[in-house]
Amino acid sequence: MKPKRIILIRHGQSQGNENPELHSEIPDYALELTTVGIAQANAAGALLKQIVGDESVFLYISPFWRTRSTAEQIVKHFSANKCSYREDPRLREQEWGHCRPKEETDLLESERDIYSTFYYRFPDGESGADVYDRVSDFFNTLHRDFQKENFPENAIIVTHGMTIRLFLMRWFHWSVEKFEMVRNPHNCEFFILEKQEDGKYKLISETRDRETPKHKYQRPLQLFSNQNL
């Protein structure tokens, strides 16, 4: 049974968001929520409860500690018989390689902005395209789960900003250029995909878009004059 909603939520403020220099000392997966992040996650859980009411929910969770902690705050607002979950490593953050000094990370980020957020691969890490591929593979799990007669009425995916944008890119068949114009969500901001009468999902949340691309290499697809692809 397809859920009524698919809700994508970014983790709360993490230690790395508050102090980027910690990325050179602590593995990315082990960064925890700050006090602010815990409050954000708790508030998000209360708002999600208002949205879904007494309906059942299933959480898919990135295994990173900040997403686990965010999910822990969210489920406090749901009764145990209405809420279940599963961790899925495919929902993890884009891999940036090993711990590096902030100066080196800043340089790599600048290179990525000049080259392409989607195509640039961090040394020993991933490109946006790599994350897109594993998100695409995660869709196979989603579609199998949605075929179950007793699947909950809401699917909540607790993950990371880049992963959310690539999920939306894959789901709605965005172009690379469209993806690169959409900004990351704020901490604990979420996007709601709502099922329509035809069984398809509509994004009812607004994205925050850039006014101009980060890099200069732009080439729209122009195969046919009417462009009805």
9: which DSSP letter?
A: E
Residue with tokens 């900003």: 161
Conformation bin of residue 140: beta by default, left when phi > 0, alpha when psi is -120 to 50: alpha
Amino acid identity, position 148 = K
Of the residues 11, 23, 77, 160, only one is catalytic, namely 11
What pLDDT, on the 0 to 100 scale, is given for residue 91? 98
Specify the pLDDT at position 41: 98
The answer to whether the beta carbons of residues 40 and 187 sit under 8 Å apart is yes
Q: What is the pLDDT of residue 82?
A: 94
Q: Judge whether residue 88 has pLDDT over 90.
A: yes
pLDDT of residue 189: 98
Tokens of 59: 């959480």
Provide the pLDDT for residue 100: 86
Q: What is the pLDDT of residues 14-62, one digit of tens each?
A: 999 999 999 999 999 999 999 999 999 999 999 999 999 999 999 999 9
- Give tens-digit pLDDT for 109-162: 999 999 999 999 999 999 999 999 999 999 999 999 999 999 999 999 999 999
pLDDT value, residue 63: 98
Is 149 considered catalytic here? no
The CA distance from 229 to 223, in Å, is 9
Domains and CATH numbers, the chain: 5-203 (3.40.50.1240)
pLDDT, position 225: 64
Closest Cα partner for 71 from 88, 94, 51, 50?
88
Alpha-carbon span 159 to 136, nearest angstrom: 15
Q: Which of 73, 87, 5, 79 is nearest to 45 (CA)?
A: 73
Q: Are strands 154-159 and 57-61 parallel, antiparallel or unpaired?
A: parallel
pLDDT at 227 over 60: no
Query: What is the structure's pLDDT at 99?
Result: 84
How many other C-beta atoms are found inside a 10 Å radius of the C-beta of residue 204? Answer: 10
Q: How confident is residue 228, by pLDDT bands cut at 50, 70 and 90?
A: low
- pLDDT above 90 covers a percentage of the chain that reads 91
The answer to pTM > 0.75 is yes
pLDDT at residue 206, rounded to an integer? 95
Q: Is 10 exposed, middle or buried (0-12, 13-18, 19+ CB in 10 A)?
A: buried
Check the CA dihedral 44-186-6-66 and report its sign: negative
pLDDT on residue 223: 81
Q: Which residues pair with 155 in a beta bridge?
A: 6, 58
- 170 has a pLDDT exceeding 60: yes
Could you confirm whether 160 is annotated as catalytic? Answer: no
Q: What is 187-227 written as a DSSP string?
A: TT-EEEEEE-TTS-EEE-SPPPB-SS-SSS------SSSS-
Please give the pLDDT value at position 222. Answer: 83
* Mean pLDDT of the region 79-89: 96
DSSP for residue 53: T
Q: Output the average pLDDT for the chain.
A: 95
Read off the DSSP letter of residue 84. Answer: E
Instruction: Name the active-site residue from 23, 77, 93, 180.
Output: 93
HEC profile of 57-69: EEEEECCCHHHHH
Backbone angles phi, psi at 213, to 5 degrees: -65, 155
